[in-house]
Amino acid sequence: MEFMLAFNETNAEVAKKTDPEQSAAYWGAWNAYVGAIAQAGIMVSGNGLQAPHTGTRVQIVDGKRQIHDGPYPDAKEHLAGYFIINVDSLDDALEWAARSPNASGGSTEVRPVLPPPEMS
């Protein structure tokens, strides 16, 4: 079964990426986690994302496109990246989610991947 692990980080976690005193530990934890997933042979795909301020949101309001740069200021967590993994069960996916470096400083959402519709 394929599951998406969506990694949500707080502003404090995002700041660790470039903080000279915290970045080595931050990136070291993520490199170890990614290495463990790769070594287990369960990674289908995935990507980290650039900082939240680089994002652009698009909405259609009253039929007109509206563009919003960066995240909404009231956001407590930001999507930092994701992996698609192929494991035997939801319990296995939850175990991998709990091992993520941000599970204690943010959150990791686990969702089953929707299979493509069957073509007739």
Distance CA 72, CA 47 (A): 22
| Cα–Cα separations (whole angstroms), residue 60 to 53, 55, 66, 72, 98 | 21, 17, 6, 16, 36
| Domains, the chain | 2-112 (3.30.70.1060)
Distance CA 43, CA 112 (A): 14
Per-residue pLDDT of the chain (120 residues; tens, 9 = 90+): 999 999 999 888 888 989 999 999 999 999 999 999 999 999 999 999 988 888 888 889 999 999 988 766 567 888 899 999 999 999 999 999 999 998 888 899 999 999 888 887
- Residue 76 burial by CB count (10 A; 0-12/13-18/19+): exposed, middle or buried? exposed
Query: pTM value?
Result: 0.85
3-state secondary structure of 28: helix
Q: What does the DSSP assignment read for 45-61? A: EEEE---GGG-EEEEEE
CB 119 within 8 A of CB 18: no
Quick one: pLDDT at residue 74? Answer: 66
